[in-house]
Every structure is written in structure tokens, then in C-alpha cells.
């Protein structure tokens, strides 16, 4: 059975798909979002929380930032801690003078879903797409039905079906590093983002709300997230963050544990026929520099404007140039993420190569501590996309 459903069919109700859908609805364009998971699952899924200045602009200019402006928290400082001691970078006074706004992704997604429905959009939750026809702008659903439109936006992540329908070169890099991602039911232990470098491995602290804090611990690839008790995790966080020197951490139970492998991949091109990719479907980036959600919103805005120009004005050129417009920004973010990985993770061992690379790592940190030019470079790329 075939149903002509909308001008734009959107796979995925994450930040990319929802921002895209909201902008299109504001332009009077019919669009339908198809999401594999339930609404409850999507609205409770904890992911990124750091929104860059450009992401806040996109949300604000498109009437999608009421919750963000009411409940978001401004962050403009990060701290690097290691055997060199500790130094702080207040990046609001560096580079372009921009800041992060911390707003948990699940809260943003709830806002975006409510606004999309308020604008007359339709979302089909718990609906699995099995196949995409990029030539006829059609979705084949698991129940055997077929949805058709004029264009398809693939915003269904790295494991979705959208990216499989684009014949593209996939550039992949495995950094050989894994993070134990933890969500603690505990107040932040400091106002700043903390990057701790230790012989045992990297540790990170990122505030989410007044009662929830994100922590990261570098672990070996293949690490079992249930291998350590809460006490063992807090003990290791205290060691790596040198709490005996800089102050105890505020503890509480861990409400989420998962292991994130540091991998990156980019598809080129990110369009084929009537199908256009955005978010993790187009590129996966390591969380080392908090770029994933911000890249998703950037691509969603570019794609929305291009689709609106085609549908409402009949000008196809912005859609034709979509890959050429978005991919350079993706690669720039990938480069900075890779730079951050090298900055935060030194090799283990006392062989000559490991000592050499750790010495380079320390030199990078000292340059970041002492050089204003280096600090301006960091701030511009840390916030920018």
C-alpha cells in the first residue's frame, strides 16, 4: 500500500530531525517524522548537553529556545588538571568571546517535539523504516506499508537505514580509546568543565543540572560497564582528579553507565537523489569536544533552508550544494576533536615511544596554559562549528 504523506519525510526524531521539521513547518512545508523508538524513550534518552553559540542562535531564531533560555545554564570556563598542576581557561574572554549553554538533550527533544506538533507536524513513533528508495523519495516500513514524498531527510543516526541508501565513501578512524560514560545523581563538584590527565588515564567532569553530573573515565576497549561498583568508580575518579589536592568530589548513585568507543567516520557525499543526511547519519564524531549535537543542528538548518528554497521558490541550487556546504564544517569539527583526543590522552607504558608522546602531550598543555594565541585558537574551535 502506498501513501503520499508529505513533501519531506524525516527519518529520526532526534535533534537534527526535529529542528529540521520545525523549520520546515514554519515555512508551511508538509513534513512527517518517522521514529523507530517510542515517544517516552526518545524524550528520556540522555545524550549531549553542551550547546554552542551557533546552536543557540539556530534555536532562538526559529522560535525553539524558550525552555533553553528559561532553564539552560551558561558555561564559559574549563579547567585542565594534571601533574603540571591546574590551570583555568575562561573562554568567554578568548577567541570570539562565545560560551556554551548547558541544556540536557532530553529536555531539548521534549521541547522540539511539543513545538513540532503545535506547528501541525506529524510524528509516527514506534515505526520502523526497513528501506529507503532515494530515487522515489519513499520509505518502506516494517509493516509493509510505503510512504512517499518529494524528499527524504535521513536523521536516524549511525545505525539507521538512511546512510545505507547513500552510495558514498565512508572515512573511518578508530582512535583506540574508550570512555566509561557515567551519569551521577550528584550535584556538580565544580562550576567548570574539568579535564583531568593522569597516568591511570583521562577523567572528565561536566555539569548537567543542579543535581545531575556527567563523568567520564578512560577505560580499555571492551571494558564491562558493570565491572566496577559505585564505590570503585568514585575512588578512581578521586584518584584521577587528584581530589586529595583540589577538593573532594560530591558523590551519589550512578543512574547511567555505558562505554563509548572513540571512533570517527564521515560520509562523502551526504546526499543521493532525493535523500539528504544530517546528524550522526552523516558523520559520527567522538565526544571529546562536544560537537555531535551541534553539528546536527548546523546541518539541519542548512538542509531546512535548502529544502524550503527548492519547494517554495523552485530553486534547486542550495540542495545541489548541500554536501559541499556542510562537509567542510564537519571536517573542521573532526580535526579539532582529533586534536582534543591527542591533548587529553597520553599512551601508557614507559617505553621510549610512550614517554616521547607523553612529553609532547605535556608540551601541548603548557602551550595552552601560557600562549594567548594558542588559547584564542582553542576557544574559537572549542565553541565554533
Active-site residue, 216 included: no
Query: Does residue 305 sit within a domain?
Result: yes
E strand intervals along 142-282:
146-148, 151-154, 169-184, 193-196, 203-207, 213-219, 254-268, 271-272, 275-277
Q: Is 103 among the catalytic positions? A: no
Catalytic option among 188, 287, 322, 345: 287
**Residues 221-242: pLDDT tens digits?**
999 999 999 999 999 999 999 9
Q: Which of 198, 205, 272, 291 is catalytic?
A: 291
> If you count them, how many residues does the chain have?
385
Tens digit of each residue's pLDDT (9 = 90 or more) over 31-47: 999 999 999 999 988 77
**Active-site residue identified among 103, 134, 188, 195:** 195
In a domain? residue 15: yes
**Domains held by the chain: number:** 1
Candidate list 91, 216, 322, 382, residue with the active-site label:
382
Encode pLDDT of 358-383 as tens digits.
999 999 999 999 999 999 999 999 99
Q: Is residue 125 part of a domain?
A: yes
pLDDT at 1 over 50: no
Q: Assess if residue 384 is contained within a domain.
A: no
Where residue 278 sits, what CATH number does that domain have? 3.50.50.60
User: Is the residue at 370 inside a domain?
Assistant: no
- State residue 240's pLDDT score: 97
Which residue's entry shows cell 522560535?
63
Residue 37 has what pLDDT? 96
Tell me whether residue 249 is in a domain.
no
Please give the residue range of the domain that contains residue 296.
2-74+95-172+264-338
Question: Is residue 344 assigned to a domain?
Answer: no
Cis check: omega of the bond before 269, within 30 degrees of 0:
yes
Residue 157 lies in a domain: yes
Amino acid at each position: 500500500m502506498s501513501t503520499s504523506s508529505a513533501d519531506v519525510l524525516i527519518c529520526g526524531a532526534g535533534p537534527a530531525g526535529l529542528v529540521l521539521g520545525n523549520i520546515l513547518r514554519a515555512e508551511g512545508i508538509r513534513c512527517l517524522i518517522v521514529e523507530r523508538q517510542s515517544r517516552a524513550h526518545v524524550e528520556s534518552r540522555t545524550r549531549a548537553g553542551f550547546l554552542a553559540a551557533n546552536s543557540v542562535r539556530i534555536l532562538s531564531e526559529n522560535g525553539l529556545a524558550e525552555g533553553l533560555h528559561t532553564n539552560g545554564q551558561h558555561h564559559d570556563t574549563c579547567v585542565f588538571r594534571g601533574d603540571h598542576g591546574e590551570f583555568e581557561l575562561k573562554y568567554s574572554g578568548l577567541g570570539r568571546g562565545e560560551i556554551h549553554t548547558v541544556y540536557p538533550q532530553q529536555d531539548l527533544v521534549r521541547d522540539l517535539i511539543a513545538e513540532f506538533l503545535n506547528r501541525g507536524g506529524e510524528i509516527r513513533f514506534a515505526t520502523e523504516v526497513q528501506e529507503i528508495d532515494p530515487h522515489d523519495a519513499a520509505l518502506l516500513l516494517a509493516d509493509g506499508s510505503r510512504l512517499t514524498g518529494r524528499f527524504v531527510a535521513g536523521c536516524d543516526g549511525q545505525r539507521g537505514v538512511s546512510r545505507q541508501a547513500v552510495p558514498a565513501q565512508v572515512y573511518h578512524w578508530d582512535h583506540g580509546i574508550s570512555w566509561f560514560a557515567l551519569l551521577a545523581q550528584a550535584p556538580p563538584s565544580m562550576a567548570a568543565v574539568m579535564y583531568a590527565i593522569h597516568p591511570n588515564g583521562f577523567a572528565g567532569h561536566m555539569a548537567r543540572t543542579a543535581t545531575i553530573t556527567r563523568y567520564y573515565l578512560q577505560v580499555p576497549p571492551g571494558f564491562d560497564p558493570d565491572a566496577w561498583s559505585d564505590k570503585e568508580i568514585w575512588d578512581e575518579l578521586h584518584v584521577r582528579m587528584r581530589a586529595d589536592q583540589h577538593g573532594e568530589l560530591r558523590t551519589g548513585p550512578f543512574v547511567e553507565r555505558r562505554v563509548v568507543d572513540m571512533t570517527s567516520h564521515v560520509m562523502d557525499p551526504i546526499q543521493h537523489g532525493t535523500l539528504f543526511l544530517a546528524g550522526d547519519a552523516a558523520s559520527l564524531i567522538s565526544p571529546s569536544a562536544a560537537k555531535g549535537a551541534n553539528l546536527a543542528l548546523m546541518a539541519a538548518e542548512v538542509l531546512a533552508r535548502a529544502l524550503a528554497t527548492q519547494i517554495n521558490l523552485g530553486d534547486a541550487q542550495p540542495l545541489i550544494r548541500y554536501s559541499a556546504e556542510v562537509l567542510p564544517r564537519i571536517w573542521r569539527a573532526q580535526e579539532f576533536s582529533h586534536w582534543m583526543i591527542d591533548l587529553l590522552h597520553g599512551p601508557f607504558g614507559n617505553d621510549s615511544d610512550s614517554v616521547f608522546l607523553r612529553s609532547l602531550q605535556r608540551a601541548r598543555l603548557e602551550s595552552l596554559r601560557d600562549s594567548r594565541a594558542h588559547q584564542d585558537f582553542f576557544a574559537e574551535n572549542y565553541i565554533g562549528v
